[in-house]
Amino acid sequence: MSETAEHSRLDSIVQLLKMNTSASIAEIAESVHVSQMTVRRDLQKLVEAGQVIRIPGGARIEHWRGAERSFFERLEKMSHAKRSIGAAAAALVSDGESVVLDSGTTTLHVARELRARRNVVVFTFSLAALEELTSAEGIRVELTGGVYRPSSHDLIGHAVAKSLTSIFADTVIFGAAAVSFSRGVMVHDPDAQHELLQAGKRKVLVVDSSKIGTEATYRLCGIEDCDLILTDKGISPEDLARLGQMTKVQVATP
């Protein structure tokens, strides 16, 4: 396809989003008469150009409703780092394995990278991850119960905890708001699911480098409780060495 035709298609996608505020990948594909795979590539180009905002299952262009704003804004922050971390985390999962996937923006990038796996079971309370994996033929998603929380597009409550206590997967992949060398892995969320950490054999923390050496409101676990910490190349050599004395660390490359 010519470059002119591609530009025309990208313009059509932007106009569609301007008219409707948001649209799913399927809706965009039908509108511009291309495959969903092509739409995904087009949306990535538009995101990198700052023209649209990627949301689970599609894209949007104008203002978010208030309750949704925080999650989708966080999704765009450090997006390149989160994308590389997501790819590295997904590479740890082999076909035929099971994964417990935390709610959050970095773990959403993990979900996106898991789409190519085969015969993988993903347990999650993240509706964003569910939407991302719905059309992935090789993935079976098992959603916990719980009460919907718009600010993080996930489920919370006792039903989540009860579900997690019955699961023992191959790998737990979880995020955090901060990694403090004195206080451990920390979150801002009072509803954080501590049961998550007991729901699998291997615990992998995915966290971008901007959060290392910072603190949040609540302690989730110790750094040494993580079997692996995956971060990006923005981590300082000093912080990398210090973390490496406490647990295994892997720096994801673009």
- The answer to whether residue 183 scores a pLDDT higher than 60 is yes
Q: Residue 103 — left, alpha, or beta (φ > 0 → left; ψ -120 to 50 → alpha)?
A: beta
Higher pLDDT, 198 or 71: 198
Beta-carbon contacts of 226 under 8 Å, excluding residues fewer than 6 positions away, are 185, 203, 204, 205, 247
Give residue 166's pLDDT band: very low, low, confident or very high (50, 70, 90).
very high
Q: What percent of the chain clears pLDDT 70, i.e. is strictly above it?
A: 91
- The answer to whether residue 187 scores a pLDDT higher than 70 is yes
> Nearest Cα to 123, choosing from 77, 190, 172?
172
Q: What percent of the chain clears pLDDT 90, i.e. is strictly above it?
A: 58
Give residue 78's pLDDT band: very low, low, confident or very high (50, 70, 90).
low
| Burial class of residue 193 in the structure, from the number of CB atoms within 10 Å of its CB (0-12 exposed, 13-18 middle, 19+ buried) | buried
Residue 44, pLDDT score: 81
Mean pLDDT of the chain: 87
- The answer to whether residue 102 scores a pLDDT higher than 90 is yes
Higher pLDDT, 203 or 254: 203
- The answer to whether residue 15 scores a pLDDT higher than 70 is yes
Strand 249-252 with 218-221, pairing: unpaired
Q: Which two tokens stand for residue 45?
A: 């180009």
Residue 49, pLDDT score: 66
Helices (H), the chain: 3-20, 25-32, 36-48, 66-76, 79-90, 105-114, 127-133, 158-165, 237-244
- The answer to whether residue 56 scores a pLDDT higher than 50 is yes
**Mean pLDDT on 217-230:** 96
**Mean pLDDT on 176-199:** 91
Beta-carbon contacts of 115 under 8 Å, excluding residues fewer than 6 positions away, are 132, 133, 136, 139
Q: Are 228 and 204 in contact (CB under 8 A)?
A: yes
Residue 100, pLDDT score: 98
Residue 64, pLDDT score: 39
Report the C-alpha gap between 178 and 44 in whole angstroms: 28
- The answer to whether residue 80 scores a pLDDT higher than 70 is yes
